[in-house]
Amino acid sequence: MNVEDFQVHDIRTFPLCLIEPEAVVPGYSQQWARELDALMARGEAFVLIYREPGDDEPHEDRKLRTQWLKQHKVAFAGLCRGIISVLEDAARRAHFDEMGQMGEQVFGIRYRTAATVAEGEALGWRLLQAG
């Protein structure tokens, strides 16, 4: 994979893929989907780590991402070992933990939160080792 082809996911530490909040702008979801297609084509397990995700994703982006996740549910769950949101605020972590439980049931992907990027990366490595 060519690092320059990725605008949403920072793959320099693959299999840990970091998503910075400034990458999530209106209309980003098509690039997000192309990048996930490329990650999955690699055929290796990975973890997605969102740093300080926003609460206000545009409806069209959320809709496209949800459609992609539904369409690729089995294959995605086979390679993505987890999605981690890094949130400094404990109340936001609790809120995201609740949302993550629903997402786990719907998409079959482990969802966790962490207070720091370092904590999120350590958790990501544990999820990868657990399979």
**Per-residue tokens: 41:** 């084509």
Q: What is the CATH number of the domain that holds 26?
A: 3.40.525
Q: How many domains does the chain have?
A: 1
Q: Which domain holds residue 29?
A: 3-130
What confidence score (pLDDT) does residue 99 get? 85
pTM: 0.92
Q: What average pLDDT is seen over the chain?
A: 92
Instruction: Give every residue of the chain whose pLDDT is below 70, as ranges.
Output: none
Q: What is the pLDDT of residues 115-130, one digit of tens each?
A: 999 999 999 999 999 9
What confidence score (pLDDT) does residue 58 get? 87
What confidence score (pLDDT) does residue 50 get? 94
What confidence score (pLDDT) does residue 106 get? 82
- Residue 94, class by beta-carbon neighbours within 10 Å (0-12 exposed, 13-18 middle, 19+ buried)? exposed
Output 34-41 pairs: Cβ under 8 A, ≥24 positions apart: 35/5, 35/6, 35/7, 35/8, 35/9, 36/9, 36/68, 36/72, 36/76, 38/1, 38/5, 38/6, 39/1, 39/9, 39/11, 39/79, 40/72, 40/75, 40/76, 40/79
